[in-house]
Structure formats: structure tokens, C-alpha cells
């Protein structure tokens, strides 16, 4: 074993140090990815995917050699370690690796054009912010045109630093928006519980509840109401789980936030260039 000093580079991850904290980036990794993709122009994009663009398995012509598509998508999945701004769109294009078409490949190229224009973007782990947790959770409802399954999105902050995020399709089709929202809230709660235990092992405060911000007042009211009603029986398991950690363990504190300020919205849909930059900031 050797002491190699401060970490600078590891498996495509670059780490920089400064008075404000640590910077984590994959700039060199993106350079190599753009070179492998052999882009023939200098085009850049403001967002990784065009607004209102929907992808389906049967649009476009099947690629004669899908290997490059699969290689690029696989590299993009690894890139989401530090580039949360492409998490949603990578989730979308990953669904077509088995039989990619020309339309799917154009979207992948659009992601690469976006990355080319944002090469220097990095995650800042602040050394001055308070170590207080806060989380945001959101979901769509049957927005996927392939199977009508909904997407969960959440992100968790430690002080000013985002330390966890996810954009993932739910396993089953939900018949109501309330069911979708409850599943999303339950997923975010599970992540909060895990992070609390991890941070507690690092002697970081694990007693105070973590605020979980949601933009549905009706969902919050159901979660905080100990009385079950007939129309909420189908979400009983998720509801009991959330209520347990809300009222018994005090691990979470449910708080309403307007849809305009819901940061988890970043992980469940495509936005205009202006909205994309606002959420990213």
C-alpha cells in the first residue's frame, strides 16, 4: 500500500481543492466520450432534450449497428455520478438500448452537444455550509407513453451540497395521482433514513428531523392524518411507512413547497432552457 497524497483523479472522477471546499467533476471523461462519439460539428445545446419530445420504441429506423449507441449510453450512465443535470434524459435513452433507432441516436447526440457546452460544470462540496439535511420529492403521473408508468424524482442536500438524487420509473402502473405521489414520497423517505444512519455513523446530527418538501398539500395531509379513509386503502403500506417515520421516529418533517421551487421537478421531466438553468442554479 502507498500513500499517494490528496486524491486528484480516480476512474474518470477529478477532484479539486480550494478555500470554498471540494470540486468533483468528470471533464476529462466527457472529453474522451466526445472523441469516441466522433461528432462532426461544433454544435452545442442549452438543454439535453427538447421540450415536449416523447420517445417510443417504434419511431425511426433501427440502427444497423447499435453497438455505438449502447457504448455511449453506458458512458452517460457513469457520467451521472457528477452530472445530475442529465439524470432524467439518460434514464429516458437507457430504455432503448436493446433496439435503438435513428431517432433515439439523435437524442443521444443532443445530450453530447449539451455536454460539450457545459464541460466545466462540477459539483461543489462546500466546506463552510452547515451540515443540515433537506430533501425534495416529486413525481409525474402516467407521463410515459410506452407503458404509462410514472417517474419518481428526489434529491437530498447536506447544507448547500446535493449528495443524493434519482430519476427512476415506478415498477407498476398507478391508477391515481395520489398513489403515484405516495410512492415517490416513500422512496424519498427510504433514502433519507439510509442517509441519516450513514451520517450518524460519521457523528453528524441524526436526531433532528429531515425536512421533506413536497408540492402536493393533499398528499401531505393524508400522510399526517392518522385516520384512514376508504379511498386511501390502496396506498396503506406506503402510508404506514411514511407515518411511522413522521410521527414515531421523527426522521422526516413534511413541508409544502410551491411547484415553482420544487427542485425534484428537475428529475422527472424536460424543461425550457430558462427553467432548466433556474433549477440547476
The CATH class, in words, for 130-280 is: alpha beta
For residues 245-249, give the mean pLDDT: 80
For residues 245-268, give the mean pLDDT: 87
- Chain-wide mean pLDDT for the chain? 86
Write the burial class of residue 265 (CB in 10 Å: 0-12 exposed, 13-18 middle, 19+ buried): buried
Q: What percent of the chain has pLDDT over 90?
A: 46
CATH 3.30.420.10 intervals, the chain: 130-280
CB 268 within 8 A of CB 88: yes
Distances from the Cα of 84 to the Cα of 124, 144, 147, 268, angstroms? 12, 21, 25, 12
| Segment (H or E) for 23 | strand 21-25
CB 270 within 8 A of CB 153: no
Tell me, what's the pLDDT at 249? 82
Tell me, what's the pLDDT at 180? 80
Give the pLDDT band (50/70/90) at residue 195.
very high
What is the residue whose three cell numbers read 410551491? 258
Q: Any bridge partners for residue 21, and if so which?
A: 18, 126
Instruction: Show contacts of 4-12: CB within 8 Å, 24+ apart.
Output: 12/78
CB 210 within 8 A of CB 134: yes
Q: Which pLDDT tens digit goes with each residue over 25-56?
A: 999 999 999 998 888 778 899 999 888 888 88
Q: What is the reported pTM?
A: 0.84
Nearest C-alpha neighbor of 138 from the set 58, 235, 213, 44? 213
For residues 129-148, give the mean pLDDT: 79
Tell me, what's the pLDDT at 141? 67
Q: Which pLDDT tens digit goes with each residue over 215-234?
A: 878 778 777 776 655 455 55
- Quote the DSSP letter at residue 86: G
Residue 238 CB neighbours (<10 A): 19
User: Residue 93 pLDDT more than 90?
Assistant: yes
For residues 79-97, give the mean pLDDT: 93
| Segment (H or E) for 26 | none
Q: Any bridge partners for residue 167, and if so which?
A: 153
194 contacts: CB under 8 Å, gap ≥ 6: none
For residues 113-140, give the mean pLDDT: 90
Amino acid at each position: 500500500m502507498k500513500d499517494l497524497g490528496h486524491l486528484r483523479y480516480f476512474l474518470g472522477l477529478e477532484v479539486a481543492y480550494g478555500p470554498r471546499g471540494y470540486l468533483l467533476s468528470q471533464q476529462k471523461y466527457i472529453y474522451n466520450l466526445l472523441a469516441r462519439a466522433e461528432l462532426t460539428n461544433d454544435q452545442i445545446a442549452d438543454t439535453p432534450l427538447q421540450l415536449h419530445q416523447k420517445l417510443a420504441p417504434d419511431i425511426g429506423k433501427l440502427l444497423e449497428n447499435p453497438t455505438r449507441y449502447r457504448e455511449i449510453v453506458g458512458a452517460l450512465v457513469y457520467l451521472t455520478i457528477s452530472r445530475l443535470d442529465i439524470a432524467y434524459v439518460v434514464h429516458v435513452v437507457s430504455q432503448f438500448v436493446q433496439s435503438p433507432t435513428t431517432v433515439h441516436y439523435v437524442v443521444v447526440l443532443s445530450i453530447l452537444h449539451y455536454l460539450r457546452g457545459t464541460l466545466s460544470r462540477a459539483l461543489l462540496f462546500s466546506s463552510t455550509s452547515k451540515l443540515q439535511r433537506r430533501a425534495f420529492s416529486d413525481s409525474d403521473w402516467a407521463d410515459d407513453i410506452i407503458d404509462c408508468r410514472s417517474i419518481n424524482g428526489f434529491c437530498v442536500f447536506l447544507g448547500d451540497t446535493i449528495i443524493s438524487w434519482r430519476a427512476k420509473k415506478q415498477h407498476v402502473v398507478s391508477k391515481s395521482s395520489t398513489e403515484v405521489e405516495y410512492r415517490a414520497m416513500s422512496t424519498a423517505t427510504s433514502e433519507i433514513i439510509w442517509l441519516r444512519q450513514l451520517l450518524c455513523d460519521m457523528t453528524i446530527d441524526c436526531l433532528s428531523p429531515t425536512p421533506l418538501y413536497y408540492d402536493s398539500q393533499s398528499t401531505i395531509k393524508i400522510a399526517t392524518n392518522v385516520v384512514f379513509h376508504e379511498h386511501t386503502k390502496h396506498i396503506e403500506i406506503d402510508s404506514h411507512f411514511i407515518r411511522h417515520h413522521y410521527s414515531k421516529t421523527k426522521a422526516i418533517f413534511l413541508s409544502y413547497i410551491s411547484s415553482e421551487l420544487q427542485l425534484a421537478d428537475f428529475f422527472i421531466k424536460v424543461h425550457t432552457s430558462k427553467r432548466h438553468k433556474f433549477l440547476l442554479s
